[in-house]
Chain A
């Protein structure tokens, strides 16, 4: 007796809503494909795009897990806002820090690691 994928009921999110098995398996399949893609991409060197592609794939996978496996798609918008804002803060943190790091890369002594020398 499959329940149709319906929007949040007026009694609140999630009560009585069950995600169809087909949807879950479909998302799983997509995640597996993306995981294979992540590994496959490492065989090609795209230079600066390496990190962009890796993060993009990770972002899509994370979004799928959140929306479907963690039921966020059928949940209260407020919970989605909380989550998205958390992600924004991570982006802010990593973004500003990397901005600074990239700026001073020319001043870094290449290959400096005296404690690692034999």
Chain B
């Protein structure tokens, strides 16, 4: 796993500064903990009631001592504040000209929109480049947390929040949601993939072109995995938060409130863009709309993919 005993490995430029702040407060705390515990244990042993022990008189107040142990801790914590603040200010100020990627959080996955409009479920960034994430939520509060970068920021509906980082070397990093958001809060995970600088543009070009480069059904499968369908709809027959997609295409789907509908291209398109129009029987109306977030070609690719999922639903 790398890293020190307490902290994960360092993946960003300011991780070292954060770790310095940690070390400062850690060792100061250890000092005071050892001091207080030692005095506690020593006093208990030295002054415990036992035959022959007579307590010596001792004063019950000492103002200079009180001032000493008030002022010294005050100076120490002022130093701690300053150290924490200095590094934080750097972390809260994205450099001008940083490479911007939009982040959307929703129950229960992350989507990343690259400057060329390509949307992916994983965050790909070039190394040694300041990256700024502009984030918003589709529904409830989430938080974007990358432990190895030492970054975390709440992701809110109705508002944009941002964070920035500069990855120091190629590699993969865990992303976790750090604000409770319901049932699958703990599986709202993804990864940051840091590319070598030379490699990044090539990756972006290829990935963005997936509709052209891949057969439609494979493109549809990619979209299924990355755009949040996977979280609720299985492809192996198991019912989840939404109906399984196995064998769905061409099937007659019973609806809540009676009646049924033949699952064809039109129904799929409607389900994706206006999901609350028809609810499958036995399921809740919780699917978010993809209006404006899936293009027509992408929906067509998804339809092609669904056609390949044979079997009984």
A and B directly contacting (CB within 8 A)? yes
Per CB-CB distance, the 7 closest pairs between chain A and chain B, nearest first, are A112-B158, A107-B160, A108-B159, A107-B159, A109-B158, A109-B159, A108-B158
16 A-B residue pairings within 8 Å (CB atoms): A104-B159, A107-B159, A107-B160, A107-B161, A107-B162, A108-B158, A108-B159, A108-B160, A109-B136, A109-B158, A109-B159, A109-B160, A112-B157, A112-B158, A112-B159, A113-B158
Summed over the interface, the residue pairs from A and B with CB atoms below 8 Å come to a total of 16
How many interface residues does B have (CB within 8 Å)? Answer: 7
Interface of B is mostly: strand
What is the chain A residue whose CB lies nearest that of B134?
A107
CA gap between A37 and B165 in the complex, in Å: 53
Q: List the B side residues contacting A108 at CB < 8 Å.
A: 158-160
Chain A: number of interface residues, binned into ranges: under 10
Q: Within residues 137 to 182 of chain B, which ones have a CB less than 8 A from any CB in chain A?
A: 157-162
Separation in Å of the B136 CB from the closest CB of chain A?
7
What is the chain A residue whose CB lies nearest that of B157?
A112
Contact with B along A78-106 (1 / 0, CB 8 A): 00000000000000000000000000100
What is the chain B residue whose CB lies nearest that of A106?
B160
Q: List the B side residues contacting A113 at CB < 8 Å.
A: 158
What is the chain A residue whose CB lies nearest that of B138?
A114
Separation in Å of the A113 CB from the closest CB of chain B?
8
CA gap between A108 and B136 in the complex, in Å: 10
Separation in Å of the B3 CB from the closest CB of chain A?
33
CA gap between A113 and B157 in the complex, in Å: 10
Q: List the A side residues contacting B160 at CB < 8 Å.
A: 107-109
CA gap between A112 and B159 in the complex, in Å: 8
Separation in Å of the A106 CB from the closest CB of chain B?
9
Q: List the A side residues contacting B159 at CB < 8 Å.
A: 104, 107-109, 112
CA gap between A104 and B136 in the complex, in Å: 14
Q: Within residues 2 to 60 of chain A, which ones have a CB less than 8 A from any CB in chain B?
A: none
Q: List the A side residues contacting B162 at CB < 8 Å.
A: 107
Q: List the B side residues contacting A107 at CB < 8 Å.
A: 159-162
Separation in Å of the B267 CB from the closest CB of chain A?
24
Separation in Å of the B204 CB from the closest CB of chain A?
27
